[in-house]
Amino acid sequence: NSYRIASIPGDGIGLEVVSATIQVIEKLAKTLGTFNINFEHIPWGTAYYKQTGRYVSEDYLDTLRRYDAILFGAVGSPDVPDHISLWGLLLALRGPLQLYANVRPVRTFPGTKCPLNTARNGIDWILVRENSEGEYAGQGGRSHIGQQWEAATEVALFTRVGIERIMRFAFETARSRPRKFLTVVTKSNSMRNGMVLWDEIAGLVAKDFPDVSWDKMLVDAMTVRMVMKPESLDTIVGTNLHMDILSDLAAALAGSIGVAPSSNLDPTRKSPSIFEPVHGSAFDITGKGVANPVATFWSAAEMLIWIGEKDAAAQLMGCVERVCAKGILTRDLGGSSDTQGVVDAVCLEIEKL
């Protein structure tokens, strides 16, 4: 039970929330005494880029394959165009490592206020995002740059393999939950190729899961259902872009993007999976010590589950929820604590275990 974790804090508040999380996880490991965990710092990000011209080292995929998992902070800096920084680091990992399942649990969390008055019993969803192709396949181009007749394309690429594997993963996720219910999101009324293929494959894969009930939604109508009938949903699957959008919406509807975690999984376990908060580098609050570390705590808990430490993950989440329920919260949630204050409170809870 000894794990090697690569920690890539990246940019902005990534450094603060990852360092906060390492403190908490090390405390947890020491207190429980049931597993060992070692974090090794990898300095990739915008500072590294400014020194070397690259966001990652040349042998970065091999480097990462030596680890059991990766804890990631954020990437993005005001002085580099976002499409350079994102494709330089985060998107250079998700696709090439074939981390095809991005999993985003969303639920009303102690200390956050749900902005909806339609969710009487709270929200409890799992969003499964295809994470290796689709709108993020990186295809497309620009021609006649600067001319009046300039034309540019963004090409979303979908493969049968890519769709089928995420669909199986989503049905399995739905099956593992009490309601056993999956909603498949597409936009096959206006998009007649890849989106129709999604619909077809959903129908085929569903046959292997007779115990899971499912339905289909168009991505636009899905936003209405999330707002108006949040309790009618449970597990949700969709394309890379659609779920990028819907997962931010989901986090907001549940009360805060500041607690939303995300797992980038290779379900075949050939590559190490990446665990990261959904929020970004947030340069407006960087360096002030006020970043909300809860999304990264939760991401680390998902990491513990993935590497096999389910009980430790449950203990951690219990401690975090108790701290939040007591109102020990950062400012984004209306509290008055700073990052270290939340870390200390969680460590204190861990000591009581």
Ligand X SMILES: CC(C)[C@H](C(=O)O)[C@@H](O)C(=O)O
Residues of this chain that bind ligand X (CB under 6 A): 86, 90, 189-190, 220, 244, 278, 280
CA distance 348 to 18: 19
**Which residues 163-182 are close enough to bind its own copies by CB under 8 A?**
none
Q: How many residues bind its own copies (CB under 8 A)?
A: 62
CA distance 43 to 236: 34
Q: Could you say whether residue 244 binds its own copies (CB under 8 A)?
A: yes
DSSP string, 287-305: TTT----HHHHHHHHHHHH
What angle (nearest 5°) sits at the alpha carbon of residue 293, between those of residues 247 and 118?
40
**Which residues 108-137 are close enough to bind its own copies by CB under 8 A?**
115-118, 135-136
Min separation Cβ 136 and ligand X, Å = 7
Among 208, 220, 311, 351, binds its own copies (CB under 8 A): 220
Q: Which long-range contacts (CB under 8 A, 24 or more apart) does 61-68 make?
A: 61/96, 61/97, 63/6, 64/6, 64/93, 64/97, 64/271, 64/272, 65/271, 65/272, 66/4, 67/4, 67/5, 67/6, 67/40, 67/272, 68/3, 68/4, 68/5, 68/272, 68/307
Nearer to ligand X, 278 or 313 (CB): 278
For residue 123, which amino acid is it? I
**In sequence order, what are the residues at sequence separation of 6 or more whose Cβ sits closer than 8 angstroms to the Cβ of residue 235?**
125, 126, 128, 170, 173, 174, 177, 179, 181, 182, 183
**Residues linked to residue 120 through DSSP beta bridges, in sequence order:** none
Min separation Cβ 234 and its own copies, Å = 19
Q: Could you say whether residue 207 binds its own copies (CB under 8 A)?
A: no
Among 40, 154, 231, 351, binds its own copies (CB under 8 A): 154
Residue 351 contact among ligand X, its own copies, none, beta carbon within 5 to 8 Å by kind: none
Among 32, 61, 206, 241, binds its own copies (CB under 8 A): 241
Min separation Cβ 280 and ligand X, Å = 6
For residue 167, which amino acid is it? M
Q: Could you say whether residue 148 binds its own copies (CB under 8 A)?
A: yes
Joined together, the tokens standing for residue 218 give 């168009």
Min separation Cβ 189 and ligand X, Å = 5
Instruction: Please give the residue whose beta carbon sits closest to ligand X in the complex.
Output: 86
Residue 158 contact among ligand X, its own copies, none, beta carbon within 5 to 8 Å by kind: its own copies
CA distance 55 to 57: 7
Min separation Cβ 87 and ligand X, Å = 8
CA distance 305 to 299: 10
Min separation Cβ 128 and its own copies, Å = 16
Stretch that binds its own copies, among 20-28, 48-56, 159-167, 263-271 (CB under 8 A): 159-167
Joined together, the tokens standing for residue 341 give 């204050």
Contact residues for its own copies, defined by CB under 8 A: 76, 81-83, 86-87, 91, 115-118, 135-136, 138-142, 147-161, 187-197, 219-221, 223-224, 227-228, 241, 244-249, 251-253, 257
